[in-house]
Chain A
Amino acid sequence: MTGPHRITAGLLTDAAKAIGFSFDGRTLTGLAGDTLASALLANGVRLVGRSFKYHRPRGVVTVGPDEPCALVDVLTKSGREPNQLATTLELATGLAAESQNRWPSLGFDMFAINDRLSRFLPAGFYYKTFMAPGWAWERLYEPLIRRAAGLGRLQAAISDHAAPAETLHEHTDVLVVGAGTTGLAAAALLGASGLRVLLVDQDVALGGGSLLDARWTSWREAMLATLAKLDSVCCLPRTAVVGAYGHGVFGAVESLAPHRIAASGGLRERMRIIRARRVIFATGSVERLIAFPGNDVPGVMLASAALGYLHRYGVAVAHHPALFLNNDEAYEAAFALADAGVRCAGIIDVRPASKAADRARARGIEVHGNAVVAGVTGRRCVRALQVTDADGRNRRTIAADCLLMSGGYSPASALASQLGAALVWQSAIAAFTPALDSASGYVAGAARGCFGLAAAAQDGASAAVAIARDLGRILRISAPAPDLPVDPQGTSTSAVWEIRGRGKAFVDLQHDVTADDVRLAQREGYEHVEHMKRYTTHGMATDQGRIGGLVGSAVLAAARGVPLSRVGQPHPRPYLQPLSFAALAGMEVREHFKPKRRLPLHQWHESAGATFVPVGVWLRPLVYSKQTGWDPVLKEARAVRHSVGVTDVSTLGKIDVQGADAGRFLDFVYANSMSTLAVGRARYGIMLREDGMMLDDGTVSRFGPEHFLLTTTTANSAAILEHLEFQLQANCPTLDVLLTDVGDQWAQFALAGPRSREVLAAVVSGIDVANEAFPFMATAEANIAGRTGRLFRISFSGELAYELAVPASEAQSVWLAVLEAGKTFDIKPYGLDALNTLRIEKGHVTGAELNGNTSADDLGMQRMLKKQGDFVGRMLSQRSGLSAPDRLQLVGVRPADAARRLRNGAHVTLRETDTASLGYITSSTPTVEREGWVGLALVAGGRARIGQRLFARSVIHGESLPIDIVSAHMLDPENLRVRA
């Protein structure tokens, strides 16, 4: 019977399967199907943790996910997982758990002194203290507070990324949240109508409240059998809806059973994103605590918990329990325990009389009507209770080893609230119920205050009928078959929130918030419920204060002297249950975090020993060497300047533009004119944003009267395509233009260097590549190494250069042909670094200069702007601010001392020690042909400063070196080479 308190067979436990586990190093035995909490209770373990602030002894309070106290660390091979709920943590062989927030041991905890000092540590005490001396907060007080705060310890293990995770995308007609009698009845009806239904419940078994009442077993089993037969219905136990996100979208997390975790390679949870046309919230209700002195002593728990441990796990939470309650439903715990042979020490009912009390007395259970619990004797476990009449008189002591409390039931309305439901006060049940408009969803059963299993089932059926009607289905039957057991006659709840007396009465057990703390907040003016919450941290712990939230509001209302309905309760935010980052992240993490875009020649580059660098989503060859430093880079660059090199520029965005109005459209999106471009010619072009700033640059080539190809920078390719599609569809809707992304279709290589023409001649056929026949900025279709491709005479390097474009699938053969043809000239492939070196020397801009804050004028391109005709950015580029003389303008820079290196990000100043920045260096590189470095910089009034000697200050490197401001066109300003 694994444990002295295991008195009968449980619904979920397998008496045949004993499981060993350990708690605080102590080896214990439970059953398959146990939670850690049920196994501990079965073994008579009451003390399971220390509280957050006062380090008071704490025990198990609930039987499920609302648990505020029974949090433990779980030790796994990959580390230590904090704050696991013992009440939902399923027992697995070898499970090792440790209690939290105690030192040195659970039994004796040094920090428990806080409890004795508690009068000096009221809510918000830290706002008023720890201020002197000035330095002391970070260095003294804060570290102390931080060490004391926090519950579990996270032992981070990098290896945790191995933990698999997955996100499933679900679609359904109706999502039914909660599989109690309400949800089961609704799902069965909806499923029978042929609608797709997703029925989810956070519990390991479907049935909700019907799991705790033997009279409902046959009905429940009949329902589950019906559902299993319906193809259109999918039932997901262990699945908690954690957020409602509107538009019928819900986030849900399925927790896998221990044996499943093993079977699926360590997968722990499964995130499900559910898209539903309609939803039913059949989320039931949550039992409330009562605030009385000592309501946190281990052994004080919810009545529903005792009922749950008995039915689900066959565990009696105590030998001699008493009950303190204000409603009939909670009596069921006493009756069930009595049936199982546990004698009840008495029931303290705040109501003078009730039907349930009569039934109890008829069974020989003593009921103290019109009475309250004024205190608890015992520190580490309940030994006795102080009971008085409701007016505080007639104090007596009742011996008991456990107190089951029930302050009534609050409908679980969080999801409905997230969808905008207003909360309406219902005095009959002393609780708020959500008022949700039917367009957003339906709330049914206990979730809308309709208590009683049969009544709830009926309510679920009605909701199903209404939804089926919304979705155009007519439901004939509206009563869930088979016949429902009859709900017992009941007397209504009478609200009780707090029993005032000496000692701490907690409204939030996990954050150690007492009723006095709430009153203090009110006295200090933090009287709005959101202020009180933030000041006291009430309801902000992992349990979100579900069992005590309304009690705190009630204490606040009493202190303010206003009705509870006016105080309300804090707005519930996602997530209903704490949710692991792994589950939320899904599998698009680490190597899958962002797509890897690979060049058509990626494998060749790899085999050639390239060092790759991530550029946006691309992987690009930086240099064909594993050696760091500039030498290999300069070797590649030198080949281009002196002979010939070839580089892979396939990352350029490439957009095919066709149509009768293609030229007109390009005139509109480019600042310079494109319609005037002759067929067979290419042109450099710049695009502006509507605010007149530079957006992007590239080339435009014309293949035919109605056919253009434009290239964009690598970084902006996607954004430019979207920009053009927007401009075309929003601002030029009548134009006959077709935009097609051909970026992946074409591989493109730049063949650059004085010998490039000779290499080209060897690989192309059917075209005369002589300078006159194929001049600078010419373009043509060509047969390249036997493949149909395109040839451009374009230069980014400043040398005589060509770009060859061929279909990506032909890339390798053409690339190899070029290398072969180049052998005689010692051709070298060059990477991104060399490419950069070359373009910096030439004064060509890239993203470092096109940084979103530069205008065409800043970059010396004002002359390119069309004088005639509209184009994006035209008007606002004329604003005074964009041509102010002190704007940062593009210039070249050279260190006065050729031996010194430049640094990107160094600021330009007038004098060596100036603190006023005149601008900064954007790009720099060692030069290929001469000693020393060159760079590009954006300098205030830069063009007028050409010839001046200024300083490049990199304070973080402790440098300030003299630099000469020169023209950005540092190499071959007359463009002789490219035209050679």
Chain B
Amino acid sequence: MSAPEQNPATADGARVRFGPCATAIVELAARRGRSAAVEAVAARRGLPLPAYGRATFGGGQLAISVRPERWLLLSPPATPGLAGDTWQEACAGNAAVIDLSSGLAVIYLAGADSAEVLIRGCRLDLHPTKFPAGHAAATVIAQVAVTIVQLPAARLLLTPATTARHFAAWLAATGAPFGISQTGAVPFTAISGESFS
């Protein structure tokens, strides 16, 4: 809870930075009473679906659960075998599979001061004891829907595409006192690189 002026930004502003992360996104929405079946399908494909409010990594994909009986699956863009249509077949009858790759923007936020920036808009308790790696939550920041995924050494922020630019502007303005820097596209490997314990 330190104040910005106590954390002077380093020359390259590396204490906190953010950048877009190109991912393919599908949402699995279990049909009424079929969530167990969906989890079984996913397990067979090497992706153990997370419990509510959690995120898990498996089979080259990141699975996020911030809506009951629904899962967001993030994968590298256009990876054969991970695309929505393959899930479509696999989940036929058990889940609606909806491509949201264009609907959600994924922002990768990292750096020692990233928590300091977030508490200036995020109303959740992001204290490490309350929101450790592998936790995920949907909330609102700067009047925009944001899903936060806590990675071991960074955070993913998922936000609707049409307000992504507004949110990025807010992030830049709020992070300015911390010397926040905006990076280029962050590869999906930055996510997959982070192991969940």
Contact = CB atoms under 8 A, between A and B. Distances in A.
Assess A/B contact in the complex (Cβ within 8 A). Answer: yes
Interface of A: 166-171, 196, 234, 236, 256, 260, 263-265, 267, 270, 273, 275, 587-588, 591-592, 594-600, 602, 617, 656, 658-660, 707, 735-738, 740, 742-747, 807-810
A172 to B, nearest CB: 9
A592 B172 CA distance: 12
B173 to A, nearest CB: 7
Contacts of B167: 595
Contacts of A167: 120-121
Interface in B140-192: 142-144, 160-163, 165-167, 169-170, 173-174, 176-177
B103 A171 contact: no
A738 B69 CA distance: 11
B130 to A, nearest CB: 7
B96 A808 contact: no
A588 B142 contact: yes
B3 to A, nearest CB: 7
Interface in B1-52: 1, 3-5, 27, 29, 31-32
A215 B1 CA distance: 32
Nearest to A170: B1
A595 B145 CA distance: 11
Contacts of A600: 102, 161-162
Nearest to A662: B96
Main secondary structure of the interface of A (DSSP, over half): mixed
B162 A745 contact: no
B112 interface: no
Given A744-B103, A745-B99, A745-B100, A168 B177 contact: no
B102 A807 contact: yes
Contacts of B89: none
B159 to A, nearest CB: 10
Contact of B143 (A588, A598, A735, A743): A588
Contact of B98 (A736, A737, A740, A747): A740
A592 B142 contact: yes
B1 A168 contact: yes
A270 B3 contact: yes
Contact of A264 (B101, B161, B177): B177
B122 interface: yes
Given A597-B162, A599-B162, A656-B96, A169 B102 contact: no
Contacts of B3: 256, 260, 264, 270
A535 to B, nearest CB: 42
8 contacts: A170-B1, A598-B163, A599-B162, A600-B161, A600-B162, A658-B31, A745-B100, A807-B101
B5 A595 contact: no
B73 interface: no
Contacts of A659: 31-32, 96
Interface string B105-122: 000000000000001111
A599 B102 CA distance: 12
Nearest to B160: A744
B55 interface: no
Contacts of B99: 745, 807
Q: Which 8 A-B pairs have the closest CB atoms?
A: A745-B103, A808-B102, A171-B125, A736-B32, A744-B103, A263-B5, A658-B96, A807-B102
Query: Which has the most chain B C-beta neighbours within 10 Å: A597, A735, A810?
Result: A597
Contacts of A597: 162-163, 166
B174 A264 contact: no
B160 to A, nearest CB: 5
B127 A166 contact: no
Given A264-B177, A595-B144, A744 B161 contact: yes
Nearest to B8: A263
A657 to B, nearest CB: 9
Contacts of A260: 3, 5
B140 to A, nearest CB: 10
B102 A809 contact: yes
A800 to B, nearest CB: 28
A740 B173 contact: no
B98 A742 contact: yes
Contact of A168 (B120, B127, B160, B166): B120
A809 B101 contact: yes
A24 B158 CA distance: 55
